[in-house]
Amino acid sequence: MNTYNRLYRYQMPMGVLISLLVLGACAVSKSEVSFDHSGTLRIVTWNVQTLFDGDEAGTEYDDYRAAAGWTGEKYRARLNSLAQGIDRIVAHGPDLIGLMETENSQVLADLVNGPLAVYGYHWTAFTAHPGAALGIGVVSRFPLTETRVHSITVQGETIPRPLLEVRLQPQDTPVVLFICHWKSKLGSATESSRRASARVILRRLHELEQENPHLAVVIMGDLNENHDEFYRSDPSILSALLPDDPEAVERTITTKQISREQQDFLILSPHKPPRPEHFAADALTLYSPWGTELQGGSYYYQGAWETIDHFLLPPSLFDLSGWDFDTCMVINQEPFINAKGHPATYNPRTGNGLSDHLPLMLTLKRDTTE
């Protein structure tokens, strides 16, 4: 098989620091299965829980070292299990998968050239903060026509949670995706990191809207924040995801100032298309399927479900001008869940399970009639 890697750097506006992106394309067997892409685009986001390869680089978690019994054979078996799971999401897999917690670009190559070889994932992209144990990646059936990495800074310091932005043009209709893995809640004062990530996304959404107000844009990934985090969190701390309600408006100074003050939080709306009802009319709101299409959760922690994995969708995905929202679902069936109905967490010692997160699948539609 013919494979190649390229390294890109992008000079981003407004002083955003840049990290390194590795882009790969993979040629696969001519015996690929056939796909009917007419008018449909299926996108999956999945935190695959510490997907380390079989080599020891020194940054692995303790359970993924040779001394703990981790081997190349276990790694290959895990790739096979993940591929079988991907095939269960939808026959022959979705069109594009955003993957959180992958060790490096070679892991993506091993997956698409190995157990997923006949599924047509010719394009991959990956990024990680230098020295970080894990990063984020994407595998796609469609060419990634543009890729960017956005580093996240808090008080002038870069944090190890870059955002991966990719542009593709399935069926000659463009779409831009932000694949994210925001800072977890472990540690102190972590909300500032998630709000810094929201600030970068908000800036890019405004830039893309000026470029093309009808451009399909999707924010996806593990944001480590519930869609209703505002109600769960300390009232003295403003979360990065806010509901469109009067209490949230009151907590963000004043409605009149919100168009200027909405710099580092995303406003979630239950409406399709999303529109502000309580925030200022020019506030940018995003539709969250949680609480409407999506029920339950994608992550189970300390006896309760959490909704920390997301698809967030701007008004352009509801304007009937290109790609539009169709459905969204949590993949909460076997083999993704265990006998209790919770995520089937992967165990590196036994090789059982898949991940402590459930995948989410978004389906977009476009009018193919002349």
Q: Residue 318: is its pLDDT beyond 90?
A: yes
Burial class (CB in 10 A: 0-12, 13-18, 19+), 207: exposed
Higher pLDDT, 24 or 329: 329
Q: pTM of the full predicted structure?
A: 0.90
Write down the pLDDT at residue 253.
Answer: 63
Point out which residues pair with 153 in neighbouring strands: 158
Q: Which stretches within 137-255 are classed as H helix?
A: 191-211, 229-232, 246-251
Mention every residue, 6+ apart, whose C-beta is less than 8 A from residue 296.
Answer: 305, 330, 332
- Helices and strands per DSSP (H, E), number in the chain: 6, 18
Report how far residue 272's alpha carbon sits from residue 286's, in angstroms, rounded to the nearest whole number: 9
Domain count, the chain: 1
pLDDT tens digits, one per residue of 254-309: 434 454 457 899 999 999 999 999 998 999 999 999 999 999 999 999 999 999 99
Mention every residue, 6+ apart, whose C-beta is less than 8 A from residue 56.
Answer: 65, 66
Region of 35 on the Ramachandran plot (φ > 0 left; ψ -120 to 50 alpha; else beta)? beta
Whether 96 and 168 have beta carbons less than 8 Å apart is answered as yes
For residue 44, tell me if it sits in a domain: yes
Report how far residue 50's alpha carbon sits from residue 70's, in angstroms, rounded to the nearest whole number: 13
Residue with tokens 């000079």: 11
Report how far residue 112's alpha carbon sits from residue 342's, in angstroms, rounded to the nearest whole number: 28
Q: Which stretches within the chain are classed as H helix?
A: 72-89, 105-113, 191-211, 229-232, 246-251, 258-261
For residue 267, tell me if it sits in a domain: no
Q: How far is CA 158 from the centre of its chain?
A: 20
Burial class (CB in 10 A: 0-12, 13-18, 19+), 92: middle
Mention every residue, 6+ apart, whose C-beta is less than 8 A from residue 90.
Answer: 42, 361
Write down the pLDDT at residue 258.
Answer: 53
Q: At 11, is the pLDDT very low, low, confident or very high (cuts 50, 70, 90)?
A: very low
Mean pLDDT in residue range 20-28: 38
The pLDDT mean for the chain works out to 88
Write down the pLDDT at residue 25.
Answer: 38
Write down the pLDDT at residue 370.
Answer: 54
Mention every residue, 6+ apart, whose C-beta is less than 8 A from residue 314.
Answer: 205, 209, 217, 274, 284, 286, 287
Strands 285-287 and 324-330: unpaired
Count of other CB atoms within 10 angstroms of residue 204: 22
Higher pLDDT, 20 or 266: 266
- What beta strand segments (E) does the chain contain? 3-8, 21-26, 40-51, 96-102, 123-127, 135-140, 144-154, 157-168, 175-181, 216-222, 241-243, 266-269, 285-287, 299-301, 304-306, 309-312, 324-330, 360-365
Write down the pLDDT at residue 222.
Answer: 98
Give the CA distances from residue 157 to residues 19, 219, 343, in Å, rounded to whole numbers and listed in that order. 13, 24, 35
Q: Residue 125: is its pLDDT beyond 60?
A: yes
Residue with tokens 């995948």: 359
Mean pLDDT in residue range 53-61: 96
User: Could you tell me the residue range of the domain that residue 337 belongs to?
Assistant: 3-224+289-365
Mean pLDDT in residue range 202-219: 97
> Looking at residue 348, which CATH number applies to its domain?
3.60.10.10
For residue 319, tell me if it sits in a domain: yes
Write down the pLDDT at residue 64.
Answer: 98
Q: At 109, is the pLDDT very low, low, confident or very high (cuts 50, 70, 90)?
A: very high
What percentage of the chain has pLDDT greater than the value 70? 87
Give the CA distances from residue 7 to residues 23, 126, 127, 168, in Å, rounded to whole numbers and listed in that order. 7, 11, 11, 18
For residue 299, tell me if it sits in a domain: yes
DSSP 33: P
Query: What are the structure tokens assigned to 125, written together?
Result: 């992209």
